[in-house]
Chains A and B, each alone.
Chain A
Amino acid sequence: MITKLNHVSIFVLNQDSAYEFYVNKLGFKVHTDAPMGPGMRWLTVCPPGQPDLEITLMPIEDGMMFKDGAAKQMRELVKKGTFGFGVFECNDLNATYEELKAKGVVFKKPPTKEFYGYEALFMDDSGNWFSLGQKK
């Protein structure tokens, strides 16, 4: 029986830049950072309150995962902001919004009252977007 989710992948254009964004701007913790040979790296991070959820910062590269030009298509889609990979939560949306903005995070939508709750939308350094909601 499935008990929990322990890995999820976010496709990024560059792992170094993604590290800077997720660790130094969003404040996520590094879970595993394993060099796997020249130009290859297994990098997972986790939100401070979820040390057992590994978010894999997956580079988009030609290879077994992306074949026949799929890597190029995927990079274009990510850059265009096609993908929203999930919803993050915080204790205070206004304070988190001000702090992340001060650190250079780009918001598509400021904190806004919607019928389903209080929400902002931000983008990572690759173009992926996320919803940020306030814990009830």
Chain B
Amino acid sequence: MYLYKRIVQAKLYIDNHFGSEMDLDNIADEACFSKFHFIRLFKAIYDSTPHQYLTRVRIENAKKLLQEGNSINETCFMVGFESVSSFTGLFRRYVHLTPSAFQRQFMEREERIKNIPLQFIPNCFAEQKGWTQKSNFQEAV
């Protein structure tokens, strides 16, 4: 179990420091593994190399930042990428949308949730909660 703790600590370190420049060799040293051994164990547990995992964490956090309304430029640098073009390319590869298309799609959905929330709630629950009685939650015709 101690071996797992060391790999998990390394993974949590990546989760919490993805925005900074990251030397994965250092992380392997901190976990007291050789680089080769660390990559092998990490991949066995998480099905990706530490570098692949770091990229995925950066992209997932980029999605959250875009959902919060941050610009693409700001998001790119906040999650630790050094160039907007490589960020955009990787984002598109993982999410199958450009960052701007992703942000637009999310904002449009949020607007629909705000204006016609009953479209997103099964009617049985909405009725039990009395939400179908309230005229301001009526679906737009």
Contacts and interface: CB of A to CB of B under 8 A. Distances in A.
B125 interface: yes
Interface in A54-96: 56, 63-65, 91-92, 94-95
B123 to A, nearest CB: 12
B121 interface: yes
Interface in A9-44: 32-37, 40, 42
Which secondary structure characterizes the binding site on chain B?
helix
A7 interface: yes
A64 B127 CA distance: 9
A36 B69 CA distance: 22
A95 B4 contact: yes
A65 B128 contact: yes
B5 A98 contact: yes
A94 B47 contact: no
Contacts, number: 58
A36 B128 contact: no
Given A98-B1, A102-B8, A91 B47 contact: yes
Given A34-B121, A36-B117, A98 B129 contact: no
A7 B129 contact: no
Contacts of B120: 32, 34, 42
Assign chain B's interface to a size class: 20 to 34
Contacts of A97: 4
B34 to A, nearest CB: 19
Interface in B1-44: 1, 4-5, 7-9, 11-12
A32 B128 contact: no
Given A7-B122, A32-B120, A37-B134, A102 B129 contact: no
6 contacts: A42-B125, A64-B129, A91-B47, A98-B5, A99-B8, A99-B12
Interface of B: 1, 4-5, 7-9, 11-12, 45-47, 113-114, 117, 120-122, 125, 127-131, 134, 137
Given A32-B121, A99-B12, 6 more contacts: A63-B129, A64-B128, A64-B130, A91-B46, A94-B4, A98-B8
Q: Which 10 A-B pairs have the closest CB atoms?
A: A34-B117, A98-B8, A94-B4, A95-B45, A65-B128, A92-B45, A32-B120, A99-B8, A34-B113, A64-B128
